């Protein structure tokens, strides 16, 4: 007998096709819910609900400006060294830059409390763009020195060069005005994370640098694209700042006008900051502007290799900035800042004694991870302790001794590099930063920010 045929089976076409999706596993309802929750968490991490429109613009401008700063920090020292600049000549350049930055940031801080913060967040990036264009078209010292001073090239060099420059006092004051008070540390941590992302991009862009064997004329044409990219990035940061909507200022009583003046209400905290920051400025001036140059001299690597190292460091340490606020909540802001400052001071010594570029870079990576925890917390602490009408002024003036000391030490450091040792300036800097950590703890351990005092008071009432 013949088996009955399945009417749905066609012997030519083969077995009937399965319904679409029947052969592949479908995600369960639980899996879809988990995926949705993960997406929501990622969105909240990237753009948390407390992050206002203005803070998003500030953060975006920080990323772009940090990329410009990082790229120029890699390119400028190596470019000038390849043109025959000695360490002493670079020290003289960094002295000019530090003095100009001190004058600019002080003037901006004092003026920003009177006229507002937004204009300076627009104008200063435009100045940095002009400076980068000058480096792209000329190699004459009479033009490069003023351009470097105008653009703050060489200030805060290295893998941590994601700073935005002299308008930072205005940026810090505006940040505090556009976020909830209890999210202050988180906001500064988010901006520091933006600096890391920007510095990562700037380090990667340095891969296009020419090899460290070109003569002066060829070096100019080889580095020109890097300087033009830096100019475009700085210009972009200024254009982003055009979208800021600064909160209205509190009206003054009739007959009174806002004047540029010394911040009297914040004087006690300012004097202590001066003492601590002067020591730190000496330390930073000894090694900060020379990080790129030191790698170039010590291990014979070019801008491309240094840029890759800085990019790796920024990628690996970006998350540490987001850990700053939770650590401060757990251990206390002042304790956290003092501890990380001491640790980063100690790590300078094994870095300069490392026998290879890779090992020195690894120690530098650990140091930068530690440094990025303390930086946003220190900025947050300064603006939190200042009187609301004096925040930008205090932020700027607190750095004046640091910047003055930073201007004095590069020439000494350059002389030590050329005539004594490539390690000694870094070892001296480590000792000075250790002293700075001790001073910060002594001066401020009994002056916690307001939210910590409130938490202690609430805890005492609850215990009672």
Q: What is the pLDDT of residues 216-240, one digit of tens each?
A: 555 567 788 889 999 999 999 999 9
Q: What is the dihedral of CA 423, 424, 430, 432, to 10 degrees?
A: -160
58-83 average pLDDT score: 85
From residue 407, alpha-carbon distances to 75, 267, 285, 393, 403 in Å are: 21, 24, 7, 21, 6
C-alpha span between 230 and 253 (Å, rounded): 45
CATH homologous superfamily for the domain 51-245+266-449: MFS general substrate transporter like domains (1.20.1250.20)
For 151, 180, 228, 453, the CA distances from 221, given in Å and listed in that order, are 20, 48, 11, 57
- What is the rounded distance in angstroms from the CA atom of residue 16 to the CA atom of residue 401? 83
Residue-level pLDDT at 343: 94
Instruction: Tell me the pLDDT tens digit for each residue of 380-419.
Output: 888 888 877 777 778 778 877 887 887 778 888 888 888 8
pLDDT of the residue at 158:
54
Q: Taking the domains of the chain in order of start, what are their residue ranges? A: 51-245+266-449
If pLDDT is split at 50, 70 and 90, which confidence band does 79 have?
A: confident
Phi then psi for residue 225, to 5 deg, are -60, -35
Q: Are 383 and 117 in contact (CB under 8 A)?
A: no
DSSP 24: S
Residue 39: exposure state from Cβ atoms within 10 A (0-12, 13-18, ≥19):
exposed
What distance in Å separates the CA atoms of residue 357 and residue 296, rounded to the nearest whole number?
Answer: 10
Residue 404 neighbours by CB under 8 Å, 6+ apart: 99, 102, 278, 281
Q: What is the mean pLDDT of residues 279-302?
A: 86
Alpha helices in 116-140 (DSSP H): 118-137
Q: What does the alpha-carbon distance between residue 311 and residue 317 come to, in Å, rounded to a whole number?
A: 10
Distance, CA of 380 to CA of 449 (rounded, Å): 9
Give pLDDT tens digits for 361-382.
999 999 988 888 888 888 888 8
Q: Which long-range contacts (CB under 8 A, 24 or more apart) does 242-250 make?
A: 242/122, 243/57, 244/54, 244/57, 244/58, 244/118, 244/121, 244/174, 245/53, 245/54, 246/54, 246/116, 246/117, 246/118, 246/174, 246/177, 247/177, 247/178, 249/116, 250/389
Reported confidence tier of residue 464, pLDDT bands at 50, 70, 90: very low
Percent of the chain scoring above 90 in pLDDT: 19
């Amino acid at each position: 007998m013949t088996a009955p045929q399945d009417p749905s089976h066609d012997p030519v076409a083969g077995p009937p096709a399965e319904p679409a999706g029947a052969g592949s596993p479908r995600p369960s309802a639980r899996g879809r819910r988990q995926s949705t929750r993960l997406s929501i968490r990622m969105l909240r991490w990237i753009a948390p609900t407390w992050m206002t429109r203005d803070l998003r613009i500030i953060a975006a401008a920080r990323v772009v400006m940090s990329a410009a700063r990082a790229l120029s920090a890699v390119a400028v020292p190596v470019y000038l060294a390849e043109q025959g600049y000695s360490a002493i000549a670079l020290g003289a350049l960094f002295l000019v830059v530090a003095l100009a930055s001190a004058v600019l940031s002080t003037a901006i801080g004092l003026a920003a409390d009177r006229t507002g913060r937004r204009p300076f967040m627009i104008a200063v990036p435009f100045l940095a763009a002009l400076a980068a264009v000058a480096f792209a078209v000329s190699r004459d010292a009479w033009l490069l020195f003023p351009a470097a001073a105008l653009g703050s090239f060489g200030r805060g060099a290295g893998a941590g060069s994601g700073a935005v420059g002299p308008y930072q006092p205005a940026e810090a004051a505006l940040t505090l005005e556009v976020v909830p008070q209890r999210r202050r540390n988180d906001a500064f941590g988010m901006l520091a994370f933006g600096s890391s992302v920007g510095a990562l991009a700037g380090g990667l862009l340095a891969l296009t640098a020419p090899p460290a064997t070109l003569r002066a004329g060829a070096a100019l044409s080889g580095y020109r694209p890097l300087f033009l990219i830096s100019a475009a990035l700085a210009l972009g940061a200024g254009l982003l700042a055009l979208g800021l909507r600064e909160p209205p200022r509190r009206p003054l009583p009739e007959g009174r006008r806002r004047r540029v003046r010394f911040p009297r209400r914040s004087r006690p905290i300012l004097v202590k900051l001066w003492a601590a920051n002067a020591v730190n400025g000496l330390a930073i001036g000894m090694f900060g502007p020379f990080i790129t140059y030191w790698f170039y001299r010590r291990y014979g690597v070019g801008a491309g290799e240094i840029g890759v190292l800085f990019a790796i460091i920024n990628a690996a340490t970006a998350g540490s900035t987001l850990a700053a606020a939770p650590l401060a909540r757990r251990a206390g802001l002042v304790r956290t800042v003092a501890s990380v400052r001491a640790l980063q001071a100690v790590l300078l010594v094994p870095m300069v004694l490392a026998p290879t570029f890779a090992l020195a870079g690894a120690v530098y990576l650990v140091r930068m991870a530690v440094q990025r925890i303390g930086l946003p917390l220190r900025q947050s602490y300064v603006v939190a302790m200042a009187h609301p009408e004096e925040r930008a002024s205090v932020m700027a003036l607190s750095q004046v001794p640091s910047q003055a000391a930073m201007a004095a030490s590069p020439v000494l450091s350059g002389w030590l590099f050329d005539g004594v040792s490539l390690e000694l300036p870094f070892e001296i800097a480590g000792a000075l930063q250790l002293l700075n950590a001790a001073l910060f703890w002594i001066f401020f351990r009994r002056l916690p920010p307001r939210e910590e005092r409130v938490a202690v008071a609430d805890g005492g009432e609850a215990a009672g």
